[in-house]
């Protein structure tokens, strides 16, 4: 049986409070499923993606899905992330690493954001 890990991949920021929603998201996912859930960041925060992948592989994951927690698919998701994922695949040939589309492209996520916006103007 496969152990399938999720890595929530965010941009990173200097302010540590920036990561709070990512930690809350990881906690929600840990509560909703059995497999491991980690965070990884492109820059300014740790761990980076290779470190997070190596840790999940060491913990016994044979499949990892990287979910970019970005609104848009810009250069970070279209160019930087695939390069790092390729390095992770080369370093962990026994782990199947797949990459999701950025969460902000999902219609249900956008619906939730739209409802949040509407609540801000109806108060």
**Closest residue by Cα to residue 99 from 71, 72, 48, 64:** 64
Q: Do residues 97 and 50 lie in contact, with contact meaning Cβ atoms separated by under 8 Å?
A: no
Q: Do residues 7 and 39 lie in contact, with contact meaning Cβ atoms separated by under 8 Å?
A: yes
What sections of the chain are H helices per DSSP?
20-32, 49-58, 75, 81-91, 107-121
* Minimum distance, C-beta of residue 87 to its own copies, in the bound complex (Å): 21
Number of residues that bind its own copies (CB under 8 A): 52
Is residue 1 a contact point for its own copies (CB under 8 A)?
no
Q: Which is nearer to its own copies, 5 or 84 (CB)?
A: 5
Is residue 93 a contact point for its own copies (CB under 8 A)?
no
Is residue 60 a contact point for its own copies (CB under 8 A)?
no
Q: Which residues bind its own copies (CB under 8 A)?
A: 4, 6, 8, 10, 13-15, 17-22, 24-25, 28-29, 32-33, 35, 65, 67, 69-76, 78, 98, 100, 102-118, 120-121
């Amino acid at each position: 049986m496969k152990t399938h890990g999720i890595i929530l991949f965010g941009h990173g920021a200097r302010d540590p409070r920036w990561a709070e929603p990512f930690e809350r998201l990881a906690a929600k996912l840990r509560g909703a499923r059995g497999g491991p859930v980690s965070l990884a960041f492109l820059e300014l925060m740790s761990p980076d993606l290779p470190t997070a992948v190596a840790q999940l592989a060491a913990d016994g994951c044979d499949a990892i899905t990287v979910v970019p927690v970005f609104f848009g698919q810009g250069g970070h998701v279209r160019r930087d992330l695939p390069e790092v994922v390729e390095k992770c695949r080369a370093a962990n040939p026994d782990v199947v690493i797949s990459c999701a589309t950025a969460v902000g492209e999902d219609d249900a996520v956008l619906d939730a954001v739209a409802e949040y916006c509407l609540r801000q103007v109806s108060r």
